[in-house]
Amino acid sequence: MDLGFIGLGEMGQAIAANLLKAGHRVRVWNRSPERLGPLVELGAQAVATPADAFRGDAVFSMLADDAAARAVFDDALLAQAPRGLIHVNMATISVALAGALAHAHEARGLAYVAAPVMGRPDVAAAARLTIIAAGPAEAIDRMQPLFDAIGQKTWRLGSLPEHANTVKITANFTLAAAIETLGEASALLAGHGVAMRDFLDVITHSVFPGPVYEGYGAMIAERRYEPARFKARLGLKDVRLALAAGDAASVPLPVASVVRDSLLDALAHGGGDQDFAVLGEVAARRAGR
């Protein structure tokens, strides 16, 4: 397929590379041009503007947040896009913006598919992402071979793109709550002289097996927050998206408010670019440890 790709952070780089390896032609654009080099070496075509990428059969995007998406996917860009183009937005954006983008694309004769992913950059590089897709069924059908090239499973959630973003935001909120709990648990254990490692050995082999408690628990136990696989400042963005979604539906999320404040504490102490697991440091600091 003739593809465009917009947004080449760590996740975007890995996804675009796998699309190239699958034999697709890929035009790439990024606000920081230095990110283009590795993909050009793999055969991508670097382009000068988002409009140059926003053509062909489909375009993938992985921009950082709502502000970046609004700045790039404006009316002028959508107006010049070829009718029938499929836009696959893989970023974690707000529920409200997902709905607005879907409407704007439909008005221009474009197909909009929300396909946020679960998985860190190493998972993306291994083409093992979990893809949460929602939008026009025909468009998702056409994109499925590409999803298969970059992920291990695609979950289809119907025709409303905002449903995919709701699920992704809720999943990240759940992850954030688990990490907050692990951080507080570590402080509680330290207060009574119990090693976090011993605690983790018990819970990960009984009631809480799996990568969240094993992986983030180990990082908290070792106070190992770098290199960051998921930065705390990005976690804060996603928790704020959950709170905004709750406000829109009059759903109180008191745990999300606690996690937001803990992440703000982390940022205030210079931990914004450290891993999400830095919530363990916040809990220790509160406990005077």
Locate 141 and state its tokens.
Answer: 């059908």
In angstroms, rounded to a whole number, what is the distance separating the alpha carbons of residues 169 and 244? Answer: 10
Q: How is residue 200 written in tokens?
A: 């983790």
SS3 for 94-129 is: CHHHHHHHHHHHHHCCCEEEECCEECCHHHHHCCCE
Supply φ then ψ for residue 206, to 5 degrees. Answer: -140, -90
**3-state DSSP call for residue 131?**
strand
Burial 129-149 (b: 16+ CB within 10 A, else e): bbbbbbbbeebbebbeebbeb
Asked if 81 contacts 62 with a C-beta cutoff of 8 angstroms, the reply is no
Task: Write out the DSSP string of 64-98.
Answer: SSHHHHHHHS-HHHHHHSPTT-EEEE-S---HHHH
Question: Is 168 among the catalytic positions?
Answer: yes
Residue spans of alpha helices (H) in 205-253: 211, 217-222, 232-248
Contact 113, 133 (CB under 8 A): yes
Burial grade of 193 (CB within 10 A; 0-12, 13-18, 19 or more): exposed
Catalytic site residue from 21, 153, 168, 231: 168
Tell me the catalytic residues: 168
